[in-house]
Amino acid sequence: MVHKGFLDAYDSVRRTCFRLLDDITGSGEKAGGRPWRVLVTGHSLGGALATLAAYELAERRTPARSIQRISLYSYGAPRVGNKAFAEVFDRLVPDTWRITNANDIVPSVPRLMGYCHVGHAVRLGADGVLRVGRSTAEGVSTDVFGEGKAGMEVIQDIVSQVQDQSRPWDEVYEEIKEREMQLLNALVGGQGLEEHMETFYLASLQQAVQAAAAAGGAGGAGQQGAVKK
């Protein structure tokens, strides 16, 4: 299952994009026998459409597909499909990197409806620090309720944490409240929208590159401080 609105927007441009791509790559490999590396990218809604495009490009069974290696880089993209879609996507396009700013509100939607993020999550934090992991990994998911869970599953998960895992209800409640307040404050205070803008992503990426360059110049061990898994 994928979001109908994103799918309709994607369907309006897919034929033109695919035709141009196949015309460029032609029916043969690049010089030296290497396949074409197709980089699919987009920001916000463009990131959602890029996700659908990368999925279809990787799934195609055409002569052009045989000489195309698909990679996806998205920025501030919302969730596109359910957990089943995300699992198939991750098998088809393992070279997927979903970049988000720490307080960007858009990657947190849609939520509580079974939608799930895809690929490797890259969180751009303060001072150029990156957090890298799978989208469903603890501390990387944009949602305190986790990925790919609908309303009833969320309730069952909360009950399970209290009963099966013997976590105090107050601890579970405070964890949920803290994350929900962070989202609300980011939205009300304007950070959630400010950090979603393309210019903010550009600034965050420049800061990350500068931090990585500085760490690399200080020695191999220092570089680990700029990237956390």
Q: How does DSSP assign 165-201, residue by residue?
A: S---HHHHHHHHHHHHHHHHHHHHTSHHHHTTSHHHH
- Return the amino acid letter for 159: V
pLDDT of residue 228: 55
Q: Establish whether 104 is a catalytic residue.
A: yes
pLDDT of residue 26: 75
pLDDT of residue 221: 40
Q: Fold for 4-217, please state it.
A: Rossmann fold (3.40.50)
pLDDT of residue 72: 98
Are 126 and 102 a contacting pair, CB within 8 Å? yes
Q: Establish whether 44 is a catalytic residue.
A: yes
34 to each of 68, 69, 93, 109, 150, how far by Cα in Å?
9, 10, 18, 38, 43
Name the region of 44 (left: φ>0; alpha: ψ -120 to 50; beta: rest). Answer: left
pLDDT of residue 29: 62
pLDDT of residue 223: 40
Helix (H, G, I), strand (E, B) or coil at 117: coil
The model's pLDDT over 61-74, given as tens digits with 9 standing for 90+, comes to 877 777 888 999 99
Choosing from 74, 104, 135, 141, the catalytic residue is 104
**In the chain, domain spans:** 4-217
**Averaged pLDDT in 10-residue chunks for the chain of 229 residues:** 96 93 74 80 97 95 80 97 95 96 91 90 84 60 69 72 78 77 80 92 92 73 45
Question: Residue 223 is encoded by which pair of tokens?
Answer: 């570089």
Choosing from 23, 27, 44, 141, the catalytic residue is 44
The model's pLDDT over 44-92, given as tens digits with 9 standing for 90+, comes to 999 999 999 999 999 988 777 778 889 999 999 999 999 999 999 999 9
pLDDT of residue 39: 95
pLDDT of residue 137: 44
